A and B are shown apart, each in its own frame.
Chain A
Amino acid sequence: QLQLQESGPGLLKPSQTLSLTCTVSGDSISVGDNYWSWIRQPPGRGLEWIGYIFHSGLTFYNPSLKSRVRMSLDTSKNQFSLNVTSVTATDTGTYYCARYRLTTGNWFDPWGQGTLVTVSS
């Protein structure tokens, strides 16, 4: 059964870099048509797709964040990561990782439990 788990610092100061890791179990991130995704949710608000990365390293980012976002893979640890530079209070929220399958199911499933990141001075 595929499972995802986010990890990373929960508190950042403005201008710092947000770095999160998603550990995948139950399947290899190196194969298949899976796009490994990040989605975030400000407190009490809706969902925003940040982007996803394919096992080849191909990435697609939301233009709203593109200049500050970078995603990467660590296939040896079966993990993928998210970096967001120059964070501000508007980057506060719960960050989810999820699988998205481009050809056999264009939806996010499963999701990690989410990790809350707070940006505050």
Chain B
Amino acid sequence: DIQMTQSPSSLSASVGDRVTITCQASQDISDSLNWYQQKPGKAPKIMIYDASNLETGVPARFSGEGSGTDFTFTINSLQPEDIATYYCQQYNHLPITFGQGTRLEIK
């Protein structure tokens, strides 16, 4: 199985900050990586697909980049409604695997 390692596991930031989450794959997955946002009690929501493509309707302050084994997810100008847990997910090899999640809180 491909292991997906996210860091940090939790993060506290202020409104307006730039926030970056990293995801490292245990082997090369090309750009086969997605990012999801999960708010408490809700199902995950796709935010970024194929490493860097913004899903329709997702605000432009969210972005992703990377290829191979190292990926980043960035929120420019953090907003209160961005409080959630974020997960990366690879689909290059079965089984599909997720990172352990990054819990984002407001300072």
B66 adjacent to chain A (CB < 8 Å): no
Q: A46-B100, A47-B87, A105-B49 are in contact. Are A63 and B95 (CB under 8 A)?
A: yes
Q: Mark B20-59, 1 if CB is under 8 A from A, else 0.
A: 0000000000001010100000111110011000010000
Establish whether residues B44 and A47, one from each chain, have CB atoms under 8 Å apart when the complex forms: yes
Chain A residues, CB < 8 A from B1 = 63
Chain A residues, CB < 8 A from B87 = 46-47
Among the listed B44, B97, B99, B101, which residue makes an inter-chain contact with A108, where contact means beta carbons less than 8 Å apart?
Answer: B44
Among the listed B45, B94, B98, which residue makes an inter-chain contact with A46, where contact means beta carbons less than 8 Å apart?
Answer: B98
Contact residues of A: prevailing secondary structure: strand
Chain B residues, CB < 8 A from A106 = 32, 34, 49-50, 91
The number of residue pairs between A and B whose CB atoms lie closer than 8 Å in the complex comes to 50
Number of interface residues of B (CB under 8 A): 23
Contact residues of B: prevailing secondary structure: loop
- Which of A9-17, A21-29, A76-84, A111-119 sits within the interface? A111-119
Establish whether residues B32 and A113, one from each chain, have CB atoms under 8 Å apart when the complex forms: no
Q: Tell me the B74-99 residues at the A interface (CB within 8 Å).
A: 87, 89, 91, 94-99
Chain B residues, CB < 8 A from A45 = 100
- B-to-A contact residues, CB < 8 Å: 1, 32, 34, 36, 42-46, 49-50, 55, 87, 89, 91, 94-101
